[in-house]
Chain A
Amino acid sequence: MRYKSAKALSKSLIYLVLTLGAVTTILPFLWMILTSLKGGTEVILMPPRLFPSVWHFDNYSRAMEAAPLATYFVNTVVVTVTSTSLMLIVTTLAAFGFSRLKFPGRDVVFGILLATLMIPGEMLIITNFVTISRLGWMDTRAALIVPFMASVFYIYLLRQFFRKVPDTLYYAAKVDACSDWRYLWKVMVPINKQAMSTIAILNAIACWNAFLWPLMVTNSETKRVLSIGLVQFQTEAGTDYELLMAAASMLVLPIILMYLVMHKQIIKGVTQSGIKG
């Protein structure tokens, strides 16, 4: 009896701590969205009110009038989709080359590639900036996309998946005179589509949220992405917190929506790559 009540007590303590943690995690998101829907005077009300008395959905259109956020949004979508698609193609080809095919020096080259994982991207920014400007790519989409077309980490990860596909399948395909190219797209890719889509999602999230590099290489409105537009808006919006939160929501909400739909796959992908990597 005593044991049972002690157990119930520790159970309720667990729920209490977990709920407190969950509230702390979710509150900034909630406050961002709620602030983005309040009127200007209500935002600076003390004590604060949780829900807006009038729901100001027009804050979003006002924010988009104050800064070309709609253009930035479209730019971000275009860059994310293009970058992820190209990354996926380049990564798939390389993972196949490094797992299934043989060529002289393959393992040495792969070893060198893996070694590049130790390099912090922040270190490459200055010299890549020079390269991009030499190429005449300053303030172009190419500057945002091309340097990230090959992800060594994802090549490594996908190669692990490709290696799990039994060799017998490959030899059977060879007997049927199936070329390597066909085998890759007709056999390997369909078998590993789960892993590939996880890689695509994780890459798309990283691309959507990218900040330092886009800050350096874009400066015109037509090329700028939303994360950069947001920090600029921060200095322009000044004290209009409802507009600033509306702009922040435009960057965050699409990712939250995607996360709500695919959270299982995303969490599994991060755990697998996190623990193996």
Chain B
Amino acid sequence: MMRKRGLELGRWKGLLYVLPALVVVAVFTVYPLLRAFLMSFYTKYKFSTDTVLSYGINNYTYIFGDSVFQKALSNTFIYVLFVVPISIAISLVLAVMLNEKIRLRSFFQTVYFLPYVTSVVAMGIVFGWLFHSNYGLLNYFLGLFGIQPVQWLNRPSTALPALIIFSIWKSLAFNIIIFLAGLQTIGAHYYQAARVDSAGRWRQFSRITVPLLSPIIAYAFIIGLISSFKVYAEVYALFGGRAGPADSCITIVYYLYRQFYVNWNFGIASAAAVVLFLIILAFTVIQLRVAKRRVHY
């Protein structure tokens, strides 16, 4: 009798090991997720007592009617559209070159990966200094080519390009490293065969490297899209806590931050969070599809 009870309890012993993790995930991931959906329908909410006075869809009608939110959406999409493909193209070229028989490969690799581990906020502030209109290093270099100083961070028309340049610089690291790892799995015999057929470098690149690397390129695309849609700290650091001149660099997460932390509009901020979640969910589903295809062929 007693032994049987011991066995019964023993079956659950494994649960004790995973319990701390489950509690943390339940309290700080699952519950807040469900609550965020609910909160996006709070139209009257008192934070001090955590009480909801009324529900409705007003938060959604508000954000979709809000020109600032539209600006945040379009800015974020423009940002993603430039940062992700450009970063992938540059990374691919650099990774292919790194994969050649060259000296100092591990030195280059170590240098290229450095921006991945360093703080976005600190490097954003450094880029703010590089972009300085009067004393910035970038305008000095442009001046050497006879280009007049650009008011990078002070004009709405150049602020978003400055943000994009910084983000491309920052995102190359991860792409280069995973492309390089992918390239090293491509067998040398493909290239040997290509050389027998006297295929040039460009043909080798476009007919062998890119197709064989395509699953990893697709993966880098999705990861890039997902993380770029969440752009925020870059903006904050580059423009000293603002969203660029005349809100020209406001992004979805910045909008969320402002509605929540500055205006204390919990419902509106949650509605923006739900929109962000749906965008990211859509891309994650695509990623899973791509990953599945990768396994099948």
Residues on A facing B (Cβ under 8 Å): 10-11, 14-15, 17-18, 21-22, 24-29, 31-32, 35, 43-48, 90-91, 93-94, 96-98, 101-104, 106, 109, 112-113, 116, 118-120, 122-131, 133-134, 146-147, 149-150, 152, 155, 180, 205, 208-209, 211-212, 215-216, 227, 230-231, 234-235, 241, 244-245, 248, 251-252, 255-256, 259-260, 263, 266-267, 270-271, 274-275
Contact = CB atoms under 8 A, between A and B. Distances in A.
A139 B112 CA distance: 37
A231 B25 contact: no
A46 B135 contact: yes
Contacts of B121: 209, 211, 227, 230-231, 251
Given A90-B20, A124-B29, A248-B125, A25 B280 contact: no
Interface stretch (B65-73, B78-86, B234-242): B234-242
B102 interface: yes
Contact of B177 (A102, A209, A270): A270
B212 to A, nearest CB: 14
Give the interface centre of A47, A209, A267 by most chain B CB atoms within 10 Å: A267
A126 B260 contact: yes
Interface of B: 11-18, 20-22, 24-25, 27-33, 35-36, 39, 47, 50, 93-94, 97-98, 100, 102, 108-123, 125-130, 132, 134-135, 137, 140, 169, 172-174, 177-178, 181-182, 201, 216, 219, 223, 226, 230, 232-233, 236-237, 240-241, 253, 256-257, 260-261, 266, 269-270, 273-274, 276-277, 280-281, 284
Nearest to A232: B241
Contacts, number: 269
B177 A248 contact: no
Contact of A235 (B135, B181, B240): B240
> Interface residues of A: mostly helix, strand, loop or mixed?
helix
Contacts of A270: 113, 116, 174, 177
B118 A244 contact: no
> Interface residues of B: mostly helix, strand, loop or mixed?
helix
Contacts of B109: 267
Contacts of A47: 140
Given A104-B12, A216-B261, 9 more contacts: A17-B97, A45-B135, A118-B281, A122-B230, A126-B269, A130-B47, A231-B241, A234-B128, A255-B117
A252 B123 contact: yes
Contacts of B117: 205, 255-256, 259, 266
Nearest to A33: B126
Given A116-B25, A124-B36, A147-B24, A208 B125 contact: no
Contact of B30 (A116, A147, A209, A256): A116
B24 A134 contact: no
B177 A106 contact: no
Contacts of A15: 102
A10 B201 contact: yes
Contact of B108 (A22, A24, A97, A102): A22
A245 B128 CA distance: 11
Contact of A17 (B93, B120, B257): B93
A22 B137 contact: no
Contacts of B233: 211-212
A245 B25 CA distance: 38
CB-based closest 8 A-B pairs: A101-B14, A97-B17, A127-B32, A103-B14, A94-B21, A97-B18, A150-B24, A150-B21
A14 B240 contact: no
A209 B135 contact: no
